[in-house]
Chains A and B, each alone.
Chain A
Amino acid sequence: MTERLNEDQPIFIQIAELIETSIVEGDRLANEQVPSTNEFAKHYQINPATAAKGINLLVDQGILFKKRGVGMFVTEDAKQIILAKRQERFYTHYVQPLLQEAKRISLTQEQLLDFIKEGFSHED
């Protein structure tokens, strides 16, 4: 989790997304502990209350749970919840801008699909 924070989004949302990404990518498994508010504050030089707000956002969504006196842990369902959430907004966040730019530079539907297919084959 050494990604840098940017100005485009509120910091607490970026903190929440950093944790989500690490869960989705398998860095943090269910029942594993995530860094504390203070660790985030120190690492990113941010106000601890801001870090806490990001973490609480995930608690509210059932992604993290609190063990009293120990810290914050990843819930069993965390990965599922995040995947569902991110898949839901995939269209607006990624596909829409993609289509917009494609139209702007006159790419056809076929060309676009080819790109996507090519991308997937590279992954394999």
Chain B
Amino acid sequence: MKISATDLNKIYKKEQALNHLSLTLEGNKIIGLLGKNGAGKTTLMRLIAGHFQPTSGQLEINGQSPFNHYSITRDVCLIQENYNFYEKFTIDDILKISAVFYPNWNASEAEELVTLFKLKRKRKISALSKGMLSAVGIIVGLASHSPITIFDEPYIGLDASYRSTFYDLLLQSYQEDPRLIILSTHLIDEVSKLFEEVAILHDGKLLLHEKAEDLAENHCIVSGPVKEVDKAIEGKQVLHQSTLLGQKTAILYDQEIDGNYDSLTFSKASIQELFVYLTKEEVVKHGDRN
């Protein structure tokens, strides 16, 4: 499956949720879609699922707009934070409906997961706690085996232990049936190891789209005495720098340090740290280079 957005715009009332976004996501990969609140992640995911039309620009899945095209939308399963299911249905209703609507539905997998998350099938959606509701979303998302499966903050209310279970399940399900899985979350530290690619949205635009490993390799944290660090980073684009007790730390992205510096140490930041430095307000200018 190939999702491609070209010059995509979405304006709600007066708010510009997506701003000339161009992005291509393809292949059977687990892709992390990151961004601050209001960066446009949810809007993009809902456009992919055909919930509404873009204001302008193009969004295509395998060359076809998902909006009102069943041949595309039947292969997309989007699990959102809220409102995935009609409240008065029971879990049982939801499972039966999912079995009808999702062409690749795996009923036995769904059954196992219901047991795993200790859910009662006769319970109404409106009677579920947040965590249980998230569990139902996760079950439907995984068991749908949709060629494009999207999770948008799927685990509100789930504790750390169940979240870890979700990561195990996601990996296992992905290995048995590789498909394009897009995962959007604020808990970057927890999930960054699951990603093969990472795309970061900022102010409705694409800030960065890289393989997770390249992202890890293409940056470095330099630290050492202020003078030495300053010399090393002179003329380079610096994501973030701070000085304390005569020691300076600077984070470079997409920049090489040439020359030999005995007194400097080089290390790596986590995706979470990079995300924060890339999208924090004071570095917005760096993001606008695209």
Contact = CB atoms under 8 A, between A and B. Distances in A.
Direct contact of A and B (CB under 8 A): yes
A71 interface: no
A48 B173 CA distance: 12
Nearest to A92: B262
Interface stretch (A4-12, A81-89, A105-113, A115-123): A4-12
B195 A10 contact: no
Contacts of A96: 262
Contact of B269 (A7, A45, A49, A100): A7
B171 A45 contact: yes
A21 interface: no
A30 interface: no
B262 A47 contact: no
A8 B263 CA distance: 18
A9 B267 CA distance: 7
A53 interface: yes
Contacts of B195: 47
A41 B170 CA distance: 11
A11 B171 contact: no
B171 to A, nearest CB: 6
B242 interface: no
B213 A12 contact: yes
Interface size class, chain A? 20 to 34
B180 interface: no
Instruction: Describe B's contact surface by its main secondary structure.
Output: helix
A5 B268 CA distance: 13
A50 B175 contact: no
Contacts of A24: none
A47 B216 contact: no
A47 B217 contact: no
A123 B195 CA distance: 42
A8 B167 contact: no
B268 A47 contact: no
B164 A7 contact: no
Contact of A11 (B172, B175, B216): B216
B288 interface: no
Interface in A23-57: 38, 41-42, 44-50, 53
Contacts of B239: none
B193 A47 contact: yes
A47 B172 CA distance: 10
10 contacts: A5-B193, A9-B268, A10-B213, A42-B172, A45-B164, A45-B193, A45-B194, A47-B30, A49-B29, A100-B262
Interface of B: 29-30, 164, 167-168, 171-172, 174-175, 193-196, 212-213, 216-217, 262-263, 267-270
Given A45-B168, A50-B193, 11 more contacts: A7-B268, A8-B267, A9-B216, A11-B193, A11-B213, A42-B175, A45-B193, A47-B171, A47-B194, A48-B174, A53-B213
